[in-house]
């Protein structure tokens, strides 16, 4: 996919993914308009064409009626991302590995390997990262200064912080005015990944 999906295109794509098995046959434009509460079939057609161009929906023709997801789009959704447990947004705690797959919208991930963690703590609240949020992490062992990273401290405890790398130390900055930065020797901190997406459930 060369261009990121717009919010409306993502909404339509997510609906198709979530309800792919709910329709007795691939939905027509009229049926999809009705299901999504949209009034303009012409506008929806433009959004569907964008999904076709992105390789997520099969081209429509007179012989194959209805809007069908491509096999690639179906397979990507089925794969999901691994949920690897909990990450501290406070004092470091150990990340708990759990073998579970979580479905993540395409626009919240990158084309590199990613995984999902759930936030515990309030040290990143000024960045809008709250206790209970699920975050998408791009797996890599390096980061630019200022990026929010998963940092493994002394080989055991993982924490979520904004990183500052200096010649002789690494500073992990919280985003909470009541908390202070933590400073470590460079060999005490290993970068496990960089924050690229965030999900929240409202109860």
Mean pLDDT of 106-123: 88
Mean pLDDT lowest for which of 26-35, 74-83, 105-114?
74-83
Whether the per-residue pLDDT at 169 is higher than 50: the answer is yes
Report pLDDT digits (tens) over 33-52.
888 888 888 888 899 998 88
Q: At what angle do helices 7-18 and 29-36 cross, to 10 degrees?
A: 100
Query: Could you say which of 77, 103, 133 is where a domain stops?
Result: 77
Selection from 200, 66, 46, 64 nearest residue 128 by Cα: 200
Mean pLDDT lowest for which of 13-27, 35-49, 61-75, 187-201?
61-75
Query: What is the pTM assigned to this prediction?
Result: 0.60
Residue 190 has a pLDDT of: 93
Q: Does residue 58 or residue 169 have the better pLDDT?
A: 169
State the pLDDT confidence band at 62, using cuts at 50, 70 and 90: low
Q: Does residue 156 or residue 153 have the better pLDDT?
A: 153
Residue 35 has a pLDDT of: 84
Domain match, 71 and 112 both = no
CA dist., res. 18 & res. 74, Å (int): 10
Active site residues: 123, 161
CA distances from 20 to 16, 93, 120 (A): 5, 39, 34
Query: Could you say which of 53, 77, 101 is where a domain stops?
Result: 77
Domain match, 67 and 34 both = yes
Query: Could you say which of 24, 58, 77 is where a domain stops?
Result: 77
Three-state DSSP state, 91: coil
Whether the per-residue pLDDT at 83 is higher than 80: the answer is yes
Residues 6 or more apart in contact with residue 78 via CB below 8 angstroms: none
The gap from C-alpha 7 to its chain's centroid, in whole angstroms, comes to: 14
Residue 2 has a pLDDT of: 44
Domain match, 107 and 91 both = yes
Domain that holds residue 177: 80-199
């Amino acid at each position: 996919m060369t261009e990121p999906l717009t919010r409306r295109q993502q909404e339509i794509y997510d609906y198709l993914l979530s309800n792919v098995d709910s329709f007795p046959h691939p939905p027509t434009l009229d049926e999809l308009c009705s299901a999504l509460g949209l009034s303009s079939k012409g506008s929806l057609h433009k959004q569907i064409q964008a999904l076709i161009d992105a390789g997520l929906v099969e081209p429509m023709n007179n012989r194959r009626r209805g809007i069908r997801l491509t096999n690639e789009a179906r397979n990507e959704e089925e794969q999901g991302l691994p949920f690897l447990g909990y990450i501290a947004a406070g004092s470091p705690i150990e990340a708990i590995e759990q073998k579970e797959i979580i479905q993540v919208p395409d626009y919240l991930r990158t084309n590199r390997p990613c995984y999902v963690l759930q936030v515990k703590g309030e040290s990143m609240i000024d960045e809008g990262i709250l206790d209970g949020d699920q975050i998408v992490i791009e797996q890599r062992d390096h980061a630019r200064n200022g990026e929010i990273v998963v940092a493994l401290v002394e080989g055991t405890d993982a924490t979520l912080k904004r990183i500052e790398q200096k010649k002789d130390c690494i500073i992990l900055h919280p985003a909470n005015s009541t908390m202070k930065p933590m400073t470590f020797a460079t060999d005490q901190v290993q970068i496990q990944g960089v924050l690229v997406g965030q999900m929240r459930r409202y109860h």
